[in-house]
Amino acid sequence: MGEHGVIRRYRRFLPVSEDTPVISLNEGGTPLIEAPGIVSKLGGDFHLFVKYEGLNPTASFKDRGMTLAVSKAAERGARIVACASTGNTSASAAAYAARAGMRCLVLIPEGKIAYGKMAQALIHGAQTLEIRGNFDDALEIVRELGKREDVEVVNSINPYRIQGQKTASFEVCDALGEAPDMHFLPVGNAGNITAYWMGYKEYREGGNSSKLPRMMGWQAEGAAPIVLGAPVERPETVATAIRIGNPASWEHAVNAATESSGAIDMVSDEEILDAQRMLARTAGIFVEPASAAGIAGIVKSHSRGDIPNGSTVVVTVTGHGLKDPGVAVENSLAESTVVDADLDSVLAAIGLV
């Protein structure tokens, strides 16, 4: 892997030319980590690999698509990049716009994005507007803004975002030497499941893999429009990143599940939080709540007998746990203890007297 960043590494699969400036933070190349501890804990008989996308430059998978969207925006001479976001797209857009020397405008739902993500938008100098509404309202406004010539919308309705994000499938196949049997991931605005499916299909067509995984997408119960078959007016979930009631890539997501004999299903907030804690304690991997939806999906699928013995299963964990420290501290069900600064006090506190 001599080349850094998804545009340089996967140029032949991407809509770029010699004239495209490469705006990159060396995204991609994230580890695929085997997690046998979780499988034993579930009493399962399959091989589980975690694609840890929290290790991208802005700590989520969004960077894969953002490098391409911002590079293409720069190529056509756009001056402003804009997005609606539940927090991670805005963090990524802010960083890549800063790198490109472009203005960035982000619209986020008031009071509903995690603290770390707010910090990212602000420190990278994005103009940050909290709207009195939810993500779906923000996206509608951004679609209108995108009609202006000088504005480039970098939500996943921008086709370059999906193109960039599909490189994650390539990396999974490269790491395993073949596509997995099942691929689990959270679903919010539904761009990522669309991108993975596109990537798996292209890689097979190119002769780089010989099979296709079943795509298993997971929404949060309070924000599960695809599962319910109708938009959700007031989506609610602890997993704020996927608090979305009317996903932009709805049909593509349904297609991915149908074509691959997979499914789009839902998990409760409690299942999400249990999965976040289990992943942290059993595999040593810290993810934000939305990212744990795919893990919760594995727990649910396994309990229903939906994961055949001997399968190779990949789960994408989409964002780093440090993005949302508030929920993590609460969900740890643990607390720190203050003691005097001497050995006896420490030994007493841990019960080793």
What is the contact surface with ligand F0G in residues (CB under 6 A)?
60, 62, 85-89, 156, 186-192, 241-242, 288, 290-291, 318-319
Q: Which is nearer to ligand F0G, 44 or 246 (CB)?
A: 246
Q: Is 191 annotated as a binding residue?
A: yes
Q: Which is nearer to ligand F0G, 5 or 191 (CB)?
A: 191
**CB neighbour list of residue 81: distance below 8 Å, 6 or more residues apart:** 69, 70, 73, 93, 96, 97, 100, 102, 103, 104, 105, 151, 152, 153, 154
* Calpha distance 190→247 (Å, rounded): 6
**CB neighbour list of residue 45: distance below 8 Å, 6 or more residues apart:** 39, 309, 310
Q: Which is nearer to ligand F0G, 78 or 108 (CB)?
A: 108
Q: How far is the CB of 301 from ligand F0G (least distance, A)?
A: 18
Q: Which is nearer to ligand F0G, 44 or 62 (CB)?
A: 62
DSSP 188: S
Q: How far is the CB of 190 from ligand F0G (least distance, A)?
A: 5
Q: How far is the CB of 85 from ligand F0G (least distance, A)?
A: 3
> Residue with structure tokens 């997690």?
35
Q: Is 190 annotated as a binding residue?
A: yes
Secondary structure in 3-state letters for 111-152: CCCCHHHHHHHHHCCCEEEEECCCHHHHHHHHHHHCCCCCEE
Helix (H) or strand (E) holding 343: helix 343-349
Q: Which amino acid is at 318?
A: T
Q: Which is nearer to ligand F0G, 30 or 291 (CB)?
A: 291
Q: Is 208 annotated as a binding residue?
A: no
CB atoms within 10 A of CB 342: 9
Q: How far is the CB of 242 from ligand F0G (least distance, A)?
A: 5
Q: Which is nearer to ligand F0G, 190 or 215 (CB)?
A: 190
**CB neighbour list of residue 297: distance below 8 Å, 6 or more residues apart:** 184, 216, 218, 265, 267, 315
Q: How far is the CB of 226 from ligand F0G (least distance, A)?
A: 10
Q: Which of 154, 58, 155, 56 is nearest to 102 (CA)?
A: 154
Q: Which of 83, 319, 280 is nearest to 192 (CA)?
A: 319
Q: How far is the CB of 4 from ligand F0G (least distance, A)?
A: 23
Q: Which is nearer to ligand F0G, 123 or 348 (CB)?
A: 123
Q: Is 349 annotated as a binding residue?
A: no
Q: Is 188 annotated as a binding residue?
A: yes
Q: What are phi and psi of 3, to 5 degrees?
A: -90, 140
Q: How far is the CB of 92 from ligand F0G (least distance, A)?
A: 8
Q: Which residues are annotated as a binding site?
A: 88, 188-192, 318
- Binding site, annotated residues for pyridoxal 5'-phosphate: 88, 188-192, 318
